Amino acid sequence: MNIKSADDLVNEALLEIRTISADEALENFESKKINLIDIRDIRELEKEGRVENSHHIPRGMLEFWMDPNGPYFKQGKLDQGKEMVLFCAGGLRSALAAKSLKDMGFENVSHIDGGFAAISQSDFKIV
């Protein structure tokens, strides 16, 4: 049996997805060009805070909430015409999640290098 490691999966995802900096994300967020999606667990948000006006979609529900034909789709939650920019705590889960959205057919998807750790060092407003 040949099992891929989580590191292998992340590295493969990084080859297929776009990675942006926290500063680039902030610029696009402030000009309302993106959907900023926090995929961290609710406990992480409660403990560390969240980006003001970001969308929270837990990693475990991402594909279900983003499937327009599925029963869990959140109609009107996101602007489907804007880029989907994902982040997690450090950038590993969001890399996998961004690849998953690309696999679903979303074309305009990226993730933030360094995740919430990088975001909290930038000028994003954390609440």
CATH number at residue 57: 3.40.250.10
The answer to whether residue 46 is domain-embedded is yes
The answer to whether residue 49 is domain-embedded is yes
The answer to whether residue 43 is domain-embedded is yes
pLDDT at res. 105: 96
Q: What is the mean pLDDT of residues 102-109?
A: 96
pLDDT category at 122 given cuts 50, 70, 90 is very high
The answer to whether residue 50 is domain-embedded is yes
pTM (predicted TM-score): 0.95
Task: Give residue 16's domain range.
Answer: 7-119
The answer to whether residue 124 is domain-embedded is no
DSSP per residue, 63-122: HHHH-TTSTT--TTSS-TTSEEEEE-SSSHHHHHHHHHHHHHT--SEEEETTHHHHHTTT
The answer to whether residue 106 is domain-embedded is yes
pLDDT at res. 76: 85
pLDDT at res. 68: 92
77 pLDDT above the threshold of 90: no
The answer to whether residue 1 is domain-embedded is no
Tens of pLDDT, residues 21-36: 999 999 999 999 999 9
pLDDT at res. 108: 96
Domain count, the chain: 1
Tens of pLDDT, residues 33-58: 999 999 999 999 999 999 999 999 99
The answer to whether residue 127 is domain-embedded is no
